[in-house]
Amino acid sequence: MNEKPRQIVYGPVASRRLGMSLGIDPSPPLTCTFSCVYCQLGRIRHVVSGPEQVEGKFPSPERIADAVRTKLEQTAHADVVSFSGSGEPTLHPALGEAIEAVRGVTTLPIALITNGSLLSRRDVFEAAVTCDLVLPSLDAGDQETFERINRPYRGISLDRITESIAELAERNSVWLEVMFVASAAGKTNVHPEAIDALVTRIDRIRPEDVSLNTCVRPPAEDLLALSDAQLVSIRDDMRRRLPGLSISVVPPLPATHRRAEGEKTLDEIAALLLVRPLTLLELAEASGVHLSEAGKLIGQLMARGSVSRRFQSGRLYYQLEERNRSA
Protein backbone atom coordinates (compact mmCIF):
# COMPACT_ATOMS: atom_id res chain seq x y z
CA MET A 1 0.00 0.00 0.00
CA ASN A 2 1.41 3.44 -0.95
CA GLU A 3 2.08 5.89 1.85
CA LYS A 4 0.18 9.16 1.87
CA PRO A 5 2.03 12.37 2.85
CA ARG A 6 -0.64 13.13 5.43
CA GLN A 7 0.41 10.02 7.32
CA ILE A 8 3.87 11.46 7.83
CA VAL A 9 3.56 15.22 8.39
CA TYR A 10 0.69 17.23 9.88
CA GLY A 11 0.07 20.80 10.97
CA PRO A 12 1.59 23.11 11.91
CA VAL A 13 -0.43 22.61 15.10
CA ALA A 14 -0.73 25.20 17.84
CA SER A 15 1.13 23.72 20.81
CA ARG A 16 0.75 25.05 24.33
CA ARG A 17 4.48 24.55 24.89
CA LEU A 18 6.15 24.91 21.50
CA GLY A 19 4.21 27.51 19.53
CA MET A 20 3.36 26.46 15.98
CA SER A 21 4.65 22.90 15.69
CA LEU A 22 5.00 21.01 12.41
CA GLY A 23 4.40 17.41 13.44
CA ILE A 24 6.06 14.27 12.11
CA ASP A 25 4.26 10.95 12.61
CA PRO A 26 7.04 8.42 11.86
CA SER A 27 5.43 5.23 13.18
CA PRO A 28 2.40 3.23 11.98
CA PRO A 29 -0.88 4.58 13.42
CA LEU A 30 -1.98 3.49 16.89
CA THR A 31 1.30 1.74 17.65
CA CYS A 32 2.95 2.46 20.98
CA THR A 33 4.79 0.93 23.92
CA PHE A 34 2.05 2.27 26.21
CA SER A 35 -1.74 2.28 26.21
CA CYS A 36 -2.29 5.21 28.57
CA VAL A 37 -5.66 5.58 30.24
CA TYR A 38 -5.78 9.23 29.12
CA CYS A 39 -4.83 8.66 25.47
CA GLN A 40 -7.05 10.76 23.23
CA LEU A 41 -6.94 8.08 20.54
CA GLY A 42 -8.43 5.37 22.74
CA ARG A 43 -6.87 2.16 23.93
CA ILE A 44 -3.87 1.76 21.62
CA ARG A 45 -4.46 -1.11 19.22
CA HIS A 46 -0.83 -2.25 18.91
CA VAL A 47 1.15 -2.22 22.17
CA VAL A 48 4.71 -3.36 21.49
CA SER A 49 8.10 -3.54 23.18
CA GLY A 50 10.09 -2.18 20.24
CA PRO A 51 10.26 -1.77 16.46
CA GLU A 52 10.86 -5.50 16.02
CA GLN A 53 7.20 -6.14 16.91
CA VAL A 54 5.68 -3.41 14.79
CA GLU A 55 3.22 -4.46 12.11
CA GLY A 56 3.35 -2.07 9.19
CA LYS A 57 5.92 -0.06 7.30
CA PHE A 58 7.96 2.86 8.56
CA PRO A 59 8.54 5.79 6.20
CA SER A 60 12.18 6.10 5.17
CA PRO A 61 14.26 9.03 6.50
CA GLU A 62 14.32 10.42 2.96
CA ARG A 63 10.53 10.19 2.67
CA ILE A 64 10.13 11.97 6.01
CA ALA A 65 12.51 14.76 4.98
CA ASP A 66 10.76 15.19 1.62
CA ALA A 67 7.39 15.43 3.35
CA VAL A 68 8.74 18.05 5.76
CA ARG A 69 10.28 20.06 2.92
CA THR A 70 7.05 19.99 0.93
CA LYS A 71 4.93 21.01 3.89
CA LEU A 72 7.25 23.86 4.87
CA GLU A 73 7.05 25.21 1.32
CA GLN A 74 3.27 25.41 1.78
CA THR A 75 3.34 26.82 5.31
CA ALA A 76 3.58 30.49 6.24
CA HIS A 77 4.93 29.92 9.72
CA ALA A 78 6.23 27.17 11.99
CA ASP A 79 8.31 27.52 15.15
CA VAL A 80 9.54 23.96 15.51
CA VAL A 81 9.48 20.53 13.86
CA SER A 82 8.34 17.81 16.27
CA PHE A 83 8.69 14.05 16.04
CA SER A 84 5.45 12.94 17.70
CA GLY A 85 2.23 11.69 16.11
CA SER A 86 -0.43 9.09 16.84
CA GLY A 87 1.97 6.55 18.40
CA GLU A 88 5.45 6.43 19.93
CA PRO A 89 7.90 8.13 17.52
CA THR A 90 11.01 6.44 18.95
CA LEU A 91 9.74 3.13 17.55
CA HIS A 92 11.14 4.21 14.18
CA PRO A 93 14.20 1.97 13.66
CA ALA A 94 16.15 4.75 11.89
CA LEU A 95 15.17 7.67 14.12
CA GLY A 96 18.66 9.16 14.16
CA GLU A 97 18.88 9.08 10.37
CA ALA A 98 15.43 10.63 10.09
CA ILE A 99 16.41 13.49 12.39
CA GLU A 100 19.58 14.06 10.38
CA ALA A 101 17.60 14.04 7.12
CA VAL A 102 15.15 16.63 8.47
CA ARG A 103 18.11 18.78 9.53
CA GLY A 104 19.05 18.85 5.87
CA VAL A 105 15.79 20.53 4.80
CA THR A 106 15.14 23.06 7.59
CA THR A 107 16.91 25.24 10.11
CA LEU A 108 13.96 25.06 12.52
CA PRO A 109 14.65 23.47 15.91
CA ILE A 110 13.74 19.80 16.16
CA ALA A 111 11.83 18.47 19.17
CA LEU A 112 11.14 14.88 20.18
CA ILE A 113 7.92 14.20 22.10
CA THR A 114 8.19 10.74 23.66
CA ASN A 115 7.00 8.56 26.51
CA GLY A 116 10.66 7.79 27.25
CA SER A 117 10.23 4.02 27.21
CA LEU A 118 12.86 3.33 24.54
CA LEU A 119 15.52 5.82 25.65
CA SER A 120 17.37 2.95 27.30
CA ARG A 121 18.22 1.72 23.79
CA ARG A 122 21.51 3.36 22.82
CA ASP A 123 20.47 4.12 19.24
CA VAL A 124 17.32 5.85 20.44
CA PHE A 125 19.23 7.67 23.18
CA GLU A 126 21.88 8.98 20.79
CA ALA A 127 19.17 10.08 18.36
CA ALA A 128 17.46 12.00 21.18
CA VAL A 129 20.74 13.72 22.01
CA THR A 130 20.82 15.21 18.49
CA CYS A 131 17.45 16.93 18.95
CA ASP A 132 17.25 20.52 20.13
CA LEU A 133 14.70 19.61 22.75
CA VAL A 134 13.25 16.38 24.17
CA LEU A 135 9.86 16.33 25.86
CA PRO A 136 9.38 13.01 27.69
CA SER A 137 6.40 12.19 29.86
CA LEU A 138 6.56 10.87 33.41
CA ASP A 139 3.17 10.24 34.99
CA ALA A 140 4.11 7.99 37.89
CA GLY A 141 6.76 7.63 40.54
CA ASP A 142 6.24 3.94 41.33
CA GLN A 143 5.87 0.87 39.14
CA GLU A 144 2.34 0.04 40.30
CA THR A 145 0.96 3.48 39.45
CA PHE A 146 2.96 3.47 36.22
CA GLU A 147 1.34 0.21 35.11
CA ARG A 148 -2.12 1.43 36.11
CA ILE A 149 -1.90 4.81 34.34
CA ASN A 150 0.38 4.13 31.37
CA ARG A 151 -0.35 0.41 30.85
CA PRO A 152 3.06 -0.32 29.30
CA TYR A 153 4.10 -3.40 27.39
CA ARG A 154 4.94 -6.09 29.90
CA GLY A 155 8.43 -5.85 31.36
CA ILE A 156 8.96 -2.13 30.74
CA SER A 157 10.59 -0.72 33.85
CA LEU A 158 9.93 2.74 35.29
CA ASP A 159 13.39 2.64 36.89
CA ARG A 160 15.06 2.23 33.49
CA ILE A 161 12.97 5.03 32.01
CA THR A 162 13.90 7.35 34.88
CA GLU A 163 17.62 6.63 34.63
CA SER A 164 17.57 7.11 30.84
CA ILE A 165 15.79 10.46 31.08
CA ALA A 166 18.18 11.55 33.86
CA GLU A 167 21.17 10.67 31.69
CA LEU A 168 19.65 12.52 28.76
CA ALA A 169 19.05 15.60 30.93
CA GLU A 170 22.81 15.77 31.52
CA ARG A 171 23.42 16.07 27.76
CA ASN A 172 20.40 17.86 26.34
CA SER A 173 17.44 20.12 27.10
CA VAL A 174 14.69 18.02 28.68
CA TRP A 175 11.21 19.36 29.35
CA LEU A 176 9.30 16.84 31.41
CA GLU A 177 5.53 16.60 31.25
CA VAL A 178 3.39 15.06 33.98
CA MET A 179 -0.20 14.19 33.15
CA PHE A 180 -2.47 14.09 36.20
CA VAL A 181 -5.75 12.18 36.04
CA ALA A 182 -8.42 10.96 38.43
CA SER A 183 -11.41 8.65 38.15
CA ALA A 184 -13.96 6.87 40.23
CA ALA A 185 -12.42 3.58 39.04
CA GLY A 186 -9.13 4.28 40.82
CA LYS A 187 -7.16 5.31 37.74
CA THR A 188 -5.46 8.16 39.52
CA ASN A 189 -1.98 9.48 40.22
CA VAL A 190 -2.88 12.41 42.44
CA HIS A 191 -2.98 10.81 45.88
CA PRO A 192 -0.20 11.99 48.25
CA GLU A 193 1.89 8.81 48.01
CA ALA A 194 1.89 8.96 44.20
CA ILE A 195 2.98 12.60 44.18
CA ASP A 196 5.69 11.89 46.78
CA ALA A 197 7.12 9.21 44.52
CA LEU A 198 6.92 11.50 41.49
CA VAL A 199 8.82 14.25 43.32
CA THR A 200 11.61 11.78 44.11
CA ARG A 201 11.97 10.78 40.44
CA ILE A 202 11.82 14.36 39.17
CA ASP A 203 14.56 15.25 41.63
CA ARG A 204 16.65 12.39 40.22
CA ILE A 205 16.13 13.60 36.65
CA ARG A 206 16.59 17.35 37.26
CA PRO A 207 15.03 18.41 33.94
CA GLU A 208 15.24 21.92 32.56
CA ASP A 209 11.48 22.32 32.94
CA VAL A 210 8.51 20.43 34.38
CA SER A 211 5.03 20.98 32.92
CA LEU A 212 1.98 19.82 34.83
CA ASN A 213 -1.03 18.91 32.74
CA THR A 214 -4.39 17.17 32.94
CA CYS A 215 -6.73 15.56 30.40
CA VAL A 216 -8.22 18.75 29.00
CA ARG A 217 -9.03 17.08 25.69
CA PRO A 218 -11.58 14.27 25.80
CA PRO A 219 -9.89 10.94 26.59
CA ALA A 220 -11.48 7.74 25.36
CA GLU A 221 -11.93 6.42 28.90
CA ASP A 222 -13.95 7.69 31.85
CA LEU A 223 -11.51 10.06 33.54
CA LEU A 224 -11.74 13.28 35.47
CA ALA A 225 -9.63 16.33 34.69
CA LEU A 226 -8.06 18.18 37.59
CA SER A 227 -9.21 21.73 38.23
CA ASP A 228 -6.89 24.68 37.77
CA ALA A 229 -6.81 25.08 41.54
CA GLN A 230 -5.71 21.46 42.02
CA LEU A 231 -2.92 21.79 39.47
CA VAL A 232 -1.72 25.04 41.04
CA SER A 233 -1.71 23.42 44.47
CA ILE A 234 0.41 20.52 43.18
CA ARG A 235 2.71 22.96 41.39
CA ASP A 236 3.25 25.02 44.55
CA ASP A 237 3.95 21.88 46.59
CA MET A 238 6.48 20.63 44.02
CA ARG A 239 8.19 24.02 43.84
CA ARG A 240 8.61 23.98 47.60
CA ARG A 241 10.07 20.48 47.58
CA LEU A 242 12.17 20.89 44.43
CA PRO A 243 13.86 24.29 44.78
CA GLY A 244 15.71 25.49 41.72
CA LEU A 245 13.54 23.62 39.21
CA SER A 246 11.20 25.35 36.77
CA ILE A 247 7.75 23.87 37.42
CA SER A 248 4.60 25.26 35.80
CA VAL A 249 1.07 24.40 34.79
CA VAL A 250 0.71 24.03 31.02
CA PRO A 251 -0.93 27.27 29.80
CA PRO A 252 -4.01 27.38 27.58
CA LEU A 253 -3.64 27.71 23.82
CA PRO A 254 -3.44 31.26 22.45
CA ALA A 255 -6.81 32.62 21.40
CA THR A 256 -5.63 33.86 17.99
CA HIS A 257 -5.74 32.06 14.68
CA ARG A 258 -4.12 32.66 11.32
CA ARG A 259 -5.89 33.48 8.08
CA ALA A 260 -6.33 30.97 5.30
CA GLU A 261 -3.25 29.97 3.29
CA GLY A 262 -5.21 28.45 0.43
CA GLU A 263 -7.90 25.81 0.38
CA LYS A 264 -7.45 22.99 2.87
CA THR A 265 -8.57 19.53 1.86
CA LEU A 266 -10.71 17.31 4.00
CA ASP A 267 -7.79 14.90 4.22
CA GLU A 268 -5.64 17.61 5.82
CA ILE A 269 -8.30 18.35 8.43
CA ALA A 270 -8.78 14.65 9.13
CA ALA A 271 -5.01 14.28 9.53
CA LEU A 272 -5.03 16.85 12.33
CA LEU A 273 -7.88 15.05 14.08
CA LEU A 274 -6.02 11.75 13.72
CA VAL A 275 -3.43 13.05 16.17
CA ARG A 276 -5.81 14.51 18.76
CA PRO A 277 -9.33 15.89 19.23
CA LEU A 278 -9.61 19.63 18.62
CA THR A 279 -12.07 22.42 19.27
CA LEU A 280 -13.17 24.42 16.25
CA LEU A 281 -10.89 27.31 17.26
CA GLU A 282 -7.92 24.97 17.71
CA LEU A 283 -8.64 23.39 14.34
CA ALA A 284 -8.65 26.81 12.69
CA GLU A 285 -5.40 27.67 14.46
CA ALA A 286 -3.73 24.41 13.51
CA SER A 287 -4.85 24.33 9.88
CA GLY A 288 -4.39 28.03 9.16
CA VAL A 289 -7.94 28.54 7.87
CA HIS A 290 -10.52 31.07 8.99
CA LEU A 291 -12.84 29.92 11.76
CA SER A 292 -15.86 29.86 9.44
CA GLU A 293 -13.98 27.79 6.85
CA ALA A 294 -12.92 25.31 9.56
CA GLY A 295 -16.59 24.98 10.49
CA LYS A 296 -17.57 24.21 6.89
CA LEU A 297 -14.88 21.52 6.56
CA ILE A 298 -15.89 19.91 9.86
CA GLY A 299 -19.51 19.93 8.68
CA GLN A 300 -18.53 18.03 5.53
CA LEU A 301 -16.59 15.44 7.53
CA MET A 302 -19.49 15.00 9.95
CA ALA A 303 -21.89 14.54 7.03
CA ARG A 304 -19.69 11.68 5.85
CA GLY A 305 -19.72 10.13 9.30
CA SER A 306 -15.95 10.57 9.59
CA VAL A 307 -16.00 12.92 12.59
CA SER A 308 -18.03 13.06 15.78
CA ARG A 309 -18.48 15.65 18.54
CA ARG A 310 -17.75 15.26 22.23
CA PHE A 311 -18.06 17.63 25.18
CA GLN A 312 -15.26 17.74 27.75
CA SER A 313 -14.90 20.26 30.58
CA GLY A 314 -17.53 22.48 28.99
CA ARG A 315 -15.83 22.61 25.58
CA LEU A 316 -16.90 21.00 22.31
CA TYR A 317 -14.24 18.82 20.65
CA TYR A 318 -14.25 17.14 17.27
CA GLN A 319 -12.66 13.73 16.95
CA LEU A 320 -12.03 11.23 14.19
CA GLU A 321 -14.25 8.18 14.31
CA GLU A 322 -12.49 4.96 15.33
CA ARG A 323 -12.85 3.28 11.95
CA ASN A 324 -10.89 6.11 10.28
CA ARG A 325 -7.92 6.10 12.63
CA SER A 326 -6.05 3.17 11.16
CA ALA A 327 -6.54 4.23 7.57
**Domain holding 311: CATH number?**
1.10.10.10
pTM: predicted TM-score of the whole model, two decimal places: 0.78
Question: How many other C-beta atoms can be found within 10 angstroms of the C-beta atom of residue 242?
Answer: 16
pLDDT the model gives residue 290 = 64
Residues 128, 266: one domain? no
- C-alpha 126/C-alpha 97 separation (Å) is 11
| Residue pLDDT, tens place only, 179-227 | 998 876 667 888 999 999 999 999 999 999 999 999 876 566 677 888 8
Residues 189, 282: one domain? no
- C-alpha 306/C-alpha 193 separation (Å) is 42
pLDDT the model gives residue 222 = 72
Residue 310 host element (H or E): strand 307-312
Residue that is last in its domain, among 252, 286, 303:
252
Domain count of the chain?
2
Starting at the edge strand that comes first in sequence, how are the strands of the sheet with 247-249 ordered? 175-180, 209-214, 247-249
Domain residue limits at 296: 253-327
- What is the separation of C-alpha 4 from the centre of its chain, rounded to a whole number of angstroms? 21
Residues 192, 263: one domain? no
- The segments of the chain whose pLDDT lies below 50 read 1-6, 255-263, 327
pLDDT the model gives residue 75 = 80
- C-alpha 155/C-alpha 125 separation (Å) is 19
| In contact, 172 and 134? CB cutoff 8 Å | yes
* Torsion of the alpha carbons at 103, 105, 106 and 109, rounded to the nearest 10: -20
pLDDT the model gives residue 219 = 61
Residues 17, 77: one domain? yes
Residues 230, 138: one domain? yes
pLDDT the model gives residue 295 = 76
| In contact, 87 and 30? CB cutoff 8 Å | yes
Q: Please give the share of the chain, as a percent, with pLDDT higher than 70.
A: 86
Residue that is last in its domain, among 252, 283, 308:
252
Beta strand spans in the chain (E): 9-15, 19-24, 31-32, 46-47, 80-83, 110-114, 133-136, 175-180, 209-214, 247-249, 307-312, 315-320
- C-alpha 318/C-alpha 323 separation (Å) is 15
pLDDT the model gives residue 5 = 41
Residues 226, 286: one domain? no
Residues 158, 35: one domain? yes
- Name the pairing type of β-strands 9-15 and 19-24: antiparallel
Which amino acid makes up residue 134? V
- Name the pairing type of β-strands 80-83 and 110-114: parallel
Three-state DSSP state, 309: strand
Residues 237, 279: one domain? no
pLDDT the model gives residue 258 = 42
pLDDT the model gives residue 319 = 87
Residue that is last in its domain, among 252, 280, 312:
252
**Domain holding 36: CATH number?**
3.20.20.70
Residues 17, 133: one domain? yes
